[in-house]
Chains A and B, each alone.
Chain A
């Protein structure tokens, strides 16, 4: 066995009373890719931020190349050859690629030609191909990430940390990234990728360290493990990592969109002739690169986004141009789970009871509110959805993300909608909570509800949905059958390169 290049010994980091890292031991060798796997809040990012000099451990130590390393700032970190690629890129938009790379290296401007040559050699060596004369604002997300990697390499990093690098990439871009990572591995770099996606761990890593609640619960050799074992380690109990799809006979058409077109405040077309049908007993997924019009689509259906033209018929009733209030009063049985749970679906400072009232207070007679039914509903939902909360009078903003989502979904499902629109329903939730949500959606489907599911993770979409609508730049670039579509097909449609209708 090679000598471990980076070693963590008993790292502890506390934030107030929360222990983010609890005596973590970890090591990375040169020429290997280590995946750090864990759910949201398991302490992955905290741990890596100690390597990149953003935090300092409360106790424990880090050694690099056999020598104890005291990393007090990102500068120390760079000196030690550590490079971190953050989830949110740290680039200057109106600089070119070269300018972003050379920035901060004051002597480089004197011998720019030489430095540019050096950068180009780096790119050839690792198979990174982007046009560095382009301004950052003209680059795609994948190009920006590549630029970050080049910059880190140029600064001489031999330890690379990537925080959720695939979250914003299309499948095609992910493939490219993995090729780059493999090249870097062959060149003898130590690479750490932080992720919560099991498939990626299996595909790219040599070893995987699983964190749960701030502890290292196991380091495994990727070849010798399975996604089942990893899920169990990550969640703490055995769990089927495959999402179940409820098989149902399709029912009648419940929601019909036709030629829906909308512009944003700047006059840019955000929805372009969107048309599709949603049937009873089906879950239709919507895939697309972030910002392709998914949010506007949901809000347009719910009456929250101004639509320029087109038609939205819910169970035969035209609802385009109506306000949410009017749609409710028309008796249209539709529920919308917005992306921004506390900013749109719920009132964060109010308790569960008062949040239950949001949709039902109107139906009460008289000028005053009787909170008793809402209290009972709150109790029922807390029980049914297994919401962990100190009481029904706790402000919802104090609950965890998963529980907040359960409050919102619980309330909407309680109104027995015929059409359910969900935007990023599992964003930020841990696996357990996500599966609860999938189960609930499946139950609704079985009941005959038509579900529109806006998602980010293609694996989830392929496993859960019946059909998938792929959006690109406000247009529908394809509608595929989820049972026989592949990630690659959808990925191509997400970039608008292929159009396909099934």
Chain B
């Protein structure tokens, strides 16, 4: 028999070593799958890195991939800090993008700054309200938020599917099921060759970090997350705090949706969220809910995905194999986090007396 015990006194150096061993372990195991496809694993890995960081354009595209991941992680971690398991980032992104599209398609001629601000606010509010629904049910009837938010993803995705394939289908797209592109005024401007979402990300990282660590609301959110009873004891209105936090959480996801629609897709589509709502859960956890760390982790995550896409085309490796590699790396990294925090110790055989 073995039991799990908490570890103390792991230095940063040791932790880094553990992570390195984890990544090497992932690469070694993944090699088996690459060998099955009759390719040289070392070459494949080298190209993965080259494919991710090899040129300015590749780095630029990593950043574009990382932006929605980072902002959604910020949003999700606000809810997670409260121990409200918001798995609904995907749906909140979609509803935020929907809100932005609603504005962009109806007021195409507003001046760029006004239109973009209007879209951002609407996106935030739509995402926030969408997250508020499960929060209200949890506050009133103590429903399970995990299932609730998860299911609401599908409603949002199917709603956008309906818009794309039917209600908002662009008649000028010669039968192709897509929603009309936004007017140019609704496009996020480029800053140093990359859409302005990256500036928003960096600003939000700082603002949200300060919000969580130094504002009254952030303090309340952490207290409620740690112990509802302590929060009640301290005179906090737990339900109100939960609703406020979830509005912010969903709002940030909605903002990520607005940025994707405006800066990348130039319109609303079922692909707008691109799984960021789920991926962000992993990023938020790996960063231990620290906003600045999320920016870095989101970047590395995007690099991994990008490297995978590159080797698919360069080596004709099936997508499934790159997904195995990515899954393996993640699995090992999450696994080493476990071994950094805990250890497994043997237990002497014990028997209950009766």
Q: How large is the interface on B (under 10, 10 to 19, 20 to 34, 35 or more residues)?
A: 20 to 34
Contact assessment for B216 and A348 in the assembled complex, using a CB-CB cutoff below 8 Å: no
CA distance A304 to B235 in the complex (A): 9
Question: From residue A173, how far is it (CB to closest CB) to chain B in Å?
Answer: 24
Closest to A103 in B: B354
Interface-central residue, B223, B233, B352, by most chain A CB under 10 Å: B233
- Is B353 in the interface zone, CB < 8 Å from A? yes
Contact assessment for A359 and B352 in the assembled complex, using a CB-CB cutoff below 8 Å: no
Which one of B219, B232, B233, B353 lies within 8 Å of A354 (CB-CB)?
B219
**Complex contacts, B229 vs chain A, CB 8 Å:** 304, 340, 343-344
**Complex contacts, A323 vs chain B, CB 8 Å:** 232, 235, 237
CA distance A327 to B232 in the complex (A): 12
Question: From residue B4, how far is it (CB to closest CB) to chain A in Å?
Answer: 14
Which one of A52, A326, A346 lies within 8 Å of B230 (CB-CB)?
A346
User: Could you tell me which residues of chain B, from 293 to 337, have a CB within 8 Å of some CB in chain A?
Assistant: none
Contact assessment for A90 and B235 in the assembled complex, using a CB-CB cutoff below 8 Å: no
Stretch at the interface among A24-32, A162-170, A361-369, A494-502: A361-369
User: Could you tell me which residues of chain B, from 203 to 243, have a CB within 8 Å of some CB in chain A?
Assistant: 214-217, 219, 222-223, 226-227, 229-230, 232-237
- Is A424 in the interface zone, CB < 8 Å from B? no
**Complex contacts, A340 vs chain B, CB 8 Å:** 229
Contact assessment for A73 and B350 in the assembled complex, using a CB-CB cutoff below 8 Å: yes
Contact assessment for A90 and B353 in the assembled complex, using a CB-CB cutoff below 8 Å: yes
- Is B11 in the interface zone, CB < 8 Å from A? no
Contact assessment for A347 and B223 in the assembled complex, using a CB-CB cutoff below 8 Å: yes
Contact assessment for B235 and A327 in the assembled complex, using a CB-CB cutoff below 8 Å: yes
Contact assessment for A347 and B226 in the assembled complex, using a CB-CB cutoff below 8 Å: yes
Question: From residue B80, how far is it (CB to closest CB) to chain A in Å?
Answer: 14
Contact assessment for B235 and A324 in the assembled complex, using a CB-CB cutoff below 8 Å: yes
Question: From residue A145, how far is it (CB to closest CB) to chain B in Å?
Answer: 16
Contact assessment for A361 and B219 in the assembled complex, using a CB-CB cutoff below 8 Å: yes
- Is B348 in the interface zone, CB < 8 Å from A? yes
**Complex contacts, A73 vs chain B, CB 8 Å:** 349-351
**Complex contacts, B232 vs chain A, CB 8 Å:** 304, 323-324
Contact assessment for B353 and A343 in the assembled complex, using a CB-CB cutoff below 8 Å: no
Contact assessment for A367 and B217 in the assembled complex, using a CB-CB cutoff below 8 Å: yes
Contact assessment for A302 and B233 in the assembled complex, using a CB-CB cutoff below 8 Å: yes
Contact A368 B230, CB 8 Å, known A73-B351, A75-B351? no
**Chain B 222-266 near chain A by CB (<8 Å), digits 1 or 0:** 110011011011111100000000000000000000000000000
Question: From residue A298, how far is it (CB to closest CB) to chain B in Å?
Answer: 11
CA distance A364 to B217 in the complex (A): 12
CA distance A44 to B245 in the complex (A): 48
Contact assessment for B226 and A368 in the assembled complex, using a CB-CB cutoff below 8 Å: no
- Is A350 in the interface zone, CB < 8 Å from B? yes
CA distance A54 to B349 in the complex (A): 10
Contact assessment for B215 and A367 in the assembled complex, using a CB-CB cutoff below 8 Å: yes
- Is A357 in the interface zone, CB < 8 Å from B? yes
Closest to A83 in B: B353
Contact assessment for A345 and B235 in the assembled complex, using a CB-CB cutoff below 8 Å: no
- Is A331 in the interface zone, CB < 8 Å from B? no
Contact assessment for B223 and A304 in the assembled complex, using a CB-CB cutoff below 8 Å: no
**Complex contacts, A357 vs chain B, CB 8 Å:** 219
Contact assessment for A344 and B216 in the assembled complex, using a CB-CB cutoff below 8 Å: no
**Complex contacts, B216 vs chain A, CB 8 Å:** 361-362, 364, 367-369
Question: From residue A452, how far is it (CB to closest CB) to chain B in Å?
Answer: 16
Interface-central residue, B219, B234, B236, B350, by most chain A CB under 10 Å: B234
Contact assessment for A74 and B234 in the assembled complex, using a CB-CB cutoff below 8 Å: no
**Complex contacts, A390 vs chain B, CB 8 Å:** none
CA distance A371 to B349 in the complex (A): 50
Contact assessment for A56 and B233 in the assembled complex, using a CB-CB cutoff below 8 Å: no
Contact assessment for B353 and A345 in the assembled complex, using a CB-CB cutoff below 8 Å: no
Contact assessment for A74 and B351 in the assembled complex, using a CB-CB cutoff below 8 Å: yes
Which one of B222, B233, B348, B354 lies within 8 Å of A344 (CB-CB)?
B233
Which one of B217, B226, B234, B354 lies within 8 Å of A349 (CB-CB)?
B226
User: Could you tell me which residues of chain B, from 272 to 298, have a CB within 8 Å of some CB in chain A?
Assistant: none
Closest to A72 in B: B349
- Is A288 in the interface zone, CB < 8 Å from B? no
Question: From residue A350, how far is it (CB to closest CB) to chain B in Å?
Answer: 7
**Complex contacts, B227 vs chain A, CB 8 Å:** 342-344, 347-348
Which one of B233, B349, B351 lies within 8 Å of A304 (CB-CB)?
B233
Question: From residue A182, how far is it (CB to closest CB) to chain B in Å?
Answer: 26
Closest to A17 in B: B8
- Is A267 in the interface zone, CB < 8 Å from B? no
**Complex contacts, B215 vs chain A, CB 8 Å:** 367-369
User: Could you tell me which residues of chain A, from 323 to 346, have a CB within 8 Å of some CB in chain B?
Assistant: 323-329, 336, 338, 340, 342-346
Which one of A56, A74, A104, A324 lies within 8 Å of B348 (CB-CB)?
A56
CA distance A323 to B226 in the complex (A): 20
- Is A78 in the interface zone, CB < 8 Å from B? yes
CA distance A77 to B353 in the complex (A): 9
Contact assessment for A344 and B235 in the assembled complex, using a CB-CB cutoff below 8 Å: no
Which one of A53, A336, A367 lies within 8 Å of B233 (CB-CB)?
A336
Contact A78 B214, CB 8 Å, known A343-B229, A344-B229, A350-B222? no
Question: From residue B250, how far is it (CB to closest CB) to chain A in Å?
Answer: 21
**Complex contacts, A349 vs chain B, CB 8 Å:** 226
Contact assessment for A350 and B354 in the assembled complex, using a CB-CB cutoff below 8 Å: no
CA distance A361 to B229 in the complex (A): 17
Closest to A349 in B: B226
Closest to B350 in A: A54
Interface residues of B (CB under 8 A from A): 214-217, 219, 222-223, 226-227, 229-230, 232-237, 348-354
18 examples of A-B residue contacts, CB within 8 angstroms: A54-B350, A73-B351, A74-B352, A77-B353, A302-B233, A323-B232, A323-B235, A326-B235, A328-B235, A344-B233, A347-B222, A347-B223, A347-B227, A347-B230, A357-B219, A359-B234, A361-B216, A367-B215
Q: A325-B235, A345-B230 are in contact. List 11 more A-B contacts (CB 8 A).
A: A74-B351, A75-B351, A324-B233, A329-B235, A347-B226, A358-B223, A359-B234, A362-B235, A364-B216, A367-B217, A369-B216
Please name the 10 residue pairs, one residue from A and one from B, whose CB atoms are nearest each other, closest first.
A325-B235, A74-B353, A324-B235, A344-B229, A328-B235, A358-B234, A347-B226, A73-B351, A344-B233, A368-B215
